[in-house]
Structure 1
């Protein structure tokens, strides 16, 4: 569900770090990728080796392997991008045909994105224009996003998509809650439009109906739905143009869950804001936060990712996996199914290169 930030040095070029994919949680639609039983409450695998990056949609997973894309999980919306049965889960990884030299993969709810030499390719559900090809068609194979060149990063939300181009951000798809960030009143755009007023952007991530942009000066800007305070501007006012997230400086990584947001600072501490009902902020209590709050008990953080109502962090020189949030199906890999409101490390899961998840499952890419 959330778009997962690409780690420096873990993209498609030769020599990138690689590892094995571990999965945990619900497996009703094949999202664990091992053709196993209904699910598990601890990380297992690897279900795939030689992987440079992973991305989790609502019920599908993408992996970048040597410049090509593997996918598994729910086939019904076309988000796997490969020939599979219309309804039966694709319970093991398979190759998305027609893509080579891929630098980054990202997943929205029911659609997928690939960055190839500055161009963006998309597939899956397109009913609100989230594929950016000028249509509202569902695509079961990759199509090129119209009019984009020179993109350096991509992200997918529920029904919208983003690309960083020349320090600005382009957006397409749903605009019901201001997700396109262009200040307009349109309900959707079938092709990319410019997000208003952003320069110096180095990364973008997306939640269910909101987005965050990280600028080169370490500041964060946000737009879209703000009912739970996920924009971090001290209000619950939905924004159709970017606003600065309050009190943040020196940010090096971002993550966005369904309705919460997370930032890693250069000093290794973590801030979180937005919805807190399921423990996804890592704070005591269930009160939503409309401004970033320091997450206690996390030191040496170097990157962060999010699932629907979960947060995952790589911490320390060993890059151990630390997690918190909702755990109704084992998506935290804690060996049980109870919400965890405080950060705890997953025993034995270190060397984390990437992580994330979607509805009730988690995925981690580890070098160990």
Structure 2
């Protein structure tokens, strides 16, 4: 038995994470903040794209329908970086700055100027070659370009595109005129972004307090959370949000019925609340669960656990962070609707949780309550999303 380690989602660090690195190069390493004992994040490398799990709308990129129970190559390109999955669709940039999306498109979430699904594989979004990151919600997507501009498209009934209205868009539209966006993350029907000045801005659905603005009001344009200018990274779940600061502290807010905020209760929070007193390297959010890596590369998870998505060997919800095993070689983690996957320092991929669509990549549809290593497959960044039953990886 090699090691019982790791989990999945978004490795967020000083300049961003899997849901949005405002960097034009393929490899990225977070800066080290000695005052916070902040550990550098791993480099994100380019490579071939692989998908598995639910492919009913072609969202794996490797099958036009049905499900895939094991990692399957998406075409032959080897320049993919940082893939993300929404509800029935997915997107990923390449090292040349192009952006590609595929799958369901009923709300224009693929950004291709229409509402026609693409089930045959990735299709390039426009002709721009300056995309550095992309985030996927339920039926909308947003991306950052190398000049620091933010663009959104797809469903907009709650104002999740940040364009000041509730009209959907089928192609990317710039959000305001700000050129300081560093990262972006998307939940079910809301969006948050981190700017280069260390401020966080959120917009869209706010009924569960997921915007962190102290109210439950929807917002159709970006609104700044408080006055803090030391935010370091941010990630959105279905209706809850978590972020780290440069001192390594972790803060969460929003919907909390399953304890996904990690605060020891199930009370909803309308503004950021600190999770414990420790310091953290990365955090990622799923449908109703959250996982994070400690500065020692240990893995911790909390929230909903009916499918074993916390990796703790049972199906009991947790309202505060609980350590997954005793390993300290976890590298990245990404979360889906009810499943989790992670990589270790050897690039082995481990998955756990719901598996009805084969989203664990283990060759079957049997769920797992503890991290289980994918056979004969190594991955670098892996991507899913709070609405996804699909997993993507760079291999």
TM above 0.5, yes or no, is yes
Query: Cα RMSD between the aligned structures?
Result: 2.5
Structure 2: 5+ residue stretches without partners: 1-7, 30-41, 347-395
Q: Which residue of 1 aligns with 2:176?
A: 196
Aligned partner of 1:25 in structure 2 is none
* 1:197 CA displacement: 5.0
1:364 to 316, 339, 342: 342
Describe the SS at the equivalent of 1:102: coil
Shift of 1:259: 0.2
Q: CA deviation at 1:196?
A: 2.5
Describe how 1:109-124 pairs up with structure 2 within 5 A. 109-116=87-94, 117-124=96-103
The residue that corresponds to 2:332 in the other structure is 354
1:291 alignment partner in structure 2? 271
Q: 1:138 aligns with which of 117, 121, 126?
A: 117
Give deviations 1:301-338, integer Å, cap 9, x for gaps: 0111111111111112x311111111001000011111
1:127-206 alignment, distance < 5 Å: 127-140=106-119, 141-165=121-145, 166-186=147-167, 188-206=168-186
Is residue 82 of structure 2 the alignment partner of residue 101 of structure 1?
A: no
2:251 is aligned to: 271
8 A contact 2:253–2:273 mirrored in 1? yes
CA distance in 2 between partners of 1:340 and 1:356 (Å): 18
| Contact 2:298–2:330, Cα closer than 8 Å, also in 1 | yes
Say whether residues 1:212 and 2:192 are aligned partners: yes
Please name the residue that 1:320 is paired with.
298
Alpha-carbon distance in structure 2 between the residues aligned to 1:282 and 1:322: 10
CA contact (8 A) 2:159 2:205 kept: yes
Structure 1: gaps (5+ residues) = 18-50, 54-64
Report the Cα offset of residue 351 of structure 1: 2.8
Whether 2:286 is the aligned partner of 1:307: answer yes
Q: Say if 2:282 and 2:293, in contact at 8 Å, map to a contact too.
A: yes
The answer to whether the 8 Å contact 1:171/1:193 transfers is yes
- Residues 248 and 332 (structure 1 numbering): CA distance in 2 closer, same or farther, change over 3 Å? farther
- On the 8 A contact 2:9/2:340 being kept in 1, the answer is no
Post-superposition Cα deviations, 1:190-219, rounded to whole Å, max 9, x if no partner, equal 100111354311110111111110111111
In structure 2, the CA distance between the partners of 1:5 and 1:172, relative to structure 1 (3 Å rule), is: farther
Counterpart for residue 46 of structure 1:
none
What secondary structure sits across from 1:285 in the alignment? coil
**Partner in structure 2 of residue 22 of structure 1:** none
Inter-partner Cα distance in structure 2 for 1:135 and 1:129: 6
Paired position in structure 2 for 1:245: 225
Q: Deviations over 1:108-165 (max 9, x none)?
A: 1211111112211000111100000111111121111125331121111110111112
> Deviation digits for residues 167-196 of structure 1, max 9, x if unmatched?
12100100011011010231x111001113
TM-score, L = length of structure 1: 0.80
Structure 1 SS opposite 2:83: strand
TM-aligned CA distance change 1:193 to 1:240, over 3 Å: same
Shift of 1:92: 0.3
Q: What does residue 333 of structure 1 align with?
A: 311
| Native 8 Å contact 1:82 1:95 kept in 2 | yes
Aligned pair count reads 318
Q: How many angstroms apart in 1 are the aligned matches of 2:254 and 2:247?
A: 22
Shift of 1:90: 0.5
Give 1:13 deviation, angstroms. Answer: 6.9
Query: How far apart, in 2, do the equivalents of 1:133 and 1:99 lie?
Result: 21
**What's the offset of the Cα at 1:255?**
1.0
Given that 1:5 and 1:204 are in contact with CA atoms closer than 8 Å, whether structure 2 keeps it comes out as no
Deviation at 1:105, TM superposition (A): 1.2
Deviations 1:199-245 (A, max 9, x none): 31111011111111011111100011000000001111100100011
Greater RCO (CA < 8 Å, at least 6 residues apart)? 2
